[in-house]
Amino acid sequence: MTDTPSLYEELRDRIRADQPTGLCTIIDGPNIGAKLLIAPDRASRGTLGNPELDRIVTRDSLAELEAGRSGVRHYGPQGQTTPEDLIDTDTVSVFVESFAAAPQLWIFGAVDFTAALAKVAKVLGYRVLVCDAREVFATRRRFPMADEVMVSWPMPVFVERGAELGPRDAVCVLTHDPKFDVPAVMGALTTRVGYIGVMGSRTTHAKRMERLTEAGLTDPNEIDRLMSPIGLDIGARTPEETAISICAEIIARRTGRKTPSLRDGSGAIHSAQ
């Protein structure tokens, strides 16, 4: 581990420059203390003592870094990702420390779906903001699982804080009120946010697109950023199932998978009983 000091120097520099970085350290098993420094935009540095272990830990820690999450992961000596050999062979425990803010999910609309979506997003490590203009609905009591509940129209939020949003973040517009959803979508489009989902039936979606066109949304590249109707086509009905379909779409969109979204289908979203 002769290069540990320079590895820490690079870590220090990256933290100071606010660049997301992960430090992986073997805390149990062979090579205790061995380190790997990872970053989304460059090759990893250091080694845990096995190239395949390095490769797997790099992959996993980049995902942890995207979620802004730290914790201990367990591997086989060659990076096996589930402890199939835990009884018969050595296990390597790796502390993955992420130096990055948690990704954000901004939910516009304090409706029945909002609490379910906030709950599932919290499991994924998101910082969740709920925003609605109606103060009787946007209350901490209704959304105890959210990190922040705001009573506001959408535009001021995007004007003041839109710069916080980047490719790892998501905006979901769950209200069907044109007074609220049109500015929420237009606001989200001014940011670099990686996912914009808009809830509604295909009929609602068609009417909303008319209003968005009137509001100035005509660029096909911009329109392509809207995932609407929101969510993967898994037949979700309850708020909780819908939350799963939305989070699955957020993941698929970020990883570039072509798993069918409701947006790319046709017909009613809910099948008839």
Map the footprint of a second copy across residues 101-140, applying CB under 8 A: 109, 111-113, 116, 119-120, 123-125, 134, 137
Q: Which stretch binds a second copy (CB under 8 A): 165-173, 183-191, 212-220, 244-252?
A: 244-252
CA 257 to chain centre: 15
Nearest to 222 by CA among 209, 239, 238: 209
Q: Which stretch binds a second copy (CB under 8 A): 24-32, 158-166, 190-198, 255-263?
A: 255-263
240 counts as binding a second copy under rule CB under 8 A: yes
CB 97 within 8 A of CB 72: no
Closest approach of Cβ 125 to a second copy, in Å?
7
Closest approach of Cβ 16 to a second copy, in Å?
25
Closest approach of Cβ 193 to a second copy, in Å?
19
Map the footprint of a second copy across residues 181-210, applying CB under 8 A: 199
243 counts as binding a second copy under rule CB under 8 A: yes
- CB of 144 or CB of 260, closer to a second copy: 260
Q: Give the interface with a second copy as residue ranges (CB under 8 A).
A: 55, 58-60, 62-64, 67, 69, 73-74, 80-84, 86-87, 109, 111-113, 116, 119-120, 123-125, 134, 137, 174-177, 199, 232-238, 240-241, 243-245, 247-249, 251-252, 254-257, 259-260, 270-271, 273
